[in-house]
Amino acid sequence: MTRVAGVDCGTNSIRLLVADLDPATGELHELDRRMTIVRLGQGVDRTGRLAPEALERTFAACREYAAVIRDLGATRLRFVATSASRDAENRDEFVAGVREILGVDPEVISGDEEAQLSFTGATKELNGEGGPYLVFDLGGGSTEFVLGTDRVEAARSVDVGCVRMTERHGEDFEAMRSDIAKALDQAAETVPLDSGATLVGLAGTVTTVAGIALALPAYDSEAIHRSRIPVADVRAVTERLLASTHEERAAIPVMHPGRVDVIVAGALVLLAIMERTGASELVVSEHDILDGIAWSTLL
């Protein structure tokens, strides 16, 4: 076993995984997994820059994570940054801050590498059963699509996510649907969206919608992980969210406070993906790019 740490810094949240890995068996023993909503991508779509307050929120989370990594004695660390920091003019400020706190440079990876890491994290434990898989990672600023069974056969990242759509369109849901449809057209140019035998969804929008569909009294990772959610249930949850007020969404037991204002956009993206692929159900995975980042430290 090798004790490693992985950090995934996205547009909406930053997450940490500390785990013991056994490459011989493919076993991942989780020691600590946590998530903080930092909204690093606040305003990036409009200004092209990372906001000072967004950087400070992110650095505060990094300081917390540095203490956890040190206390648990991880010997390897990889920090991966995705859509927001890829787009920002002042990304050097972000890189310097992370380096000072954690001692490593954040790797601002391409959409294609993001897709590869998501696929590894989501499918490693499935051992090829039910393949080929169409895996999608629905983030704050972008969504990655990956098709494959034991390896990636096609991948595409498109700039549609819950934060980007919310900031761009507010409550103009028709304009939002139009943007989402165009993004799916782009994805389909590279990834045949109707070719996966199993549709696997990752990230906070997907797990939150699943928790609502399952009527959980509180967020429960074990109940959500590998659950199968019919498209009719996703449609019903999306319609419920569209019709709800901010206060009603905030009162949903599985809803993280940082997702309340972006969950409607996220649900619309999720439903559009299911309708475009023709999938009758969705397999929800709590194992995603963060797990892929952890495994990649051994390469």
pLDDT score, position 288: 86
CA distance 2 to 20: 5
Please give the Cα distance from 134 to 145 (Å, whole number).
Answer: 7
Q: Copy the structure tokens of residue 293.
A: 């980042």
Q: For the chain, what is the radius of gyration of the CA atoms?
A: 18
Cβ burial of 235 (10 Å; 0-12, 13-18, 19+) is middle
Q: In degrees to the nearest 10, what's the CA dihedral of 286, 288, 293, 295?
A: 80
Q: Can you give the pLDDT at residue 252?
A: 97
pLDDT at 183: 96
* Tens place of pLDDT per residue across the chain (299 aa): 899 999 999 888 999 999 999 888 778 899 999 999 999 999 888 899 999 999 999 999 999 999 999 999 999 999 999 767 877 899 999 999 999 999 999 998 887 787 788 888 998 877 777 889 999 999 998 898 999 988 889 999 899 999 999 999 999 999 999 999 999 999 999 999 988 889 999 989 999 999 999 999 999 999 999 999 999 999 999 999 999 999 999 999 999 998 999 999 999 999 999 999 999 999 999 988 899 999 999 98
CA-to-CA dists, residue 129 to 89, 135, 150, 162, 271, angstroms: 43, 14, 10, 30, 25
Q: Do residues 82 and 253 lie in contact, with contact meaning Cβ atoms separated by under 8 Å? A: no
C-alpha span between 154 and 160 (Å, rounded): 18
Instruction: Please give the pLDDT value at position 280.
Output: 95
Q: What is the pLDDT of residue 102?
A: 98
> What pLDDT score does 34 carry?
95
Task: Please check whether residue 152 is in contact with residue 217, taking contact to mean a CB–CB distance below 8 angstroms.
Answer: no
pLDDT of residue 275: 97
What is d(CA 183, CA 58) in angstroms, rounded to the nearest whole number? 28
Query: Cα dist. 132→119, 138, 156, 192, 195 in Å?
Result: 12, 19, 16, 12, 8
Which candidate, 194, 159, 156, 202, places its Cα nearest to that of 179?
A: 159
The reply to whether the predicted model has a pTM over 0.85 is: no
What integer pLDDT is reported at residue 47 of this predicted model? 93
Bridge partners of 167, per DSSP, are: none
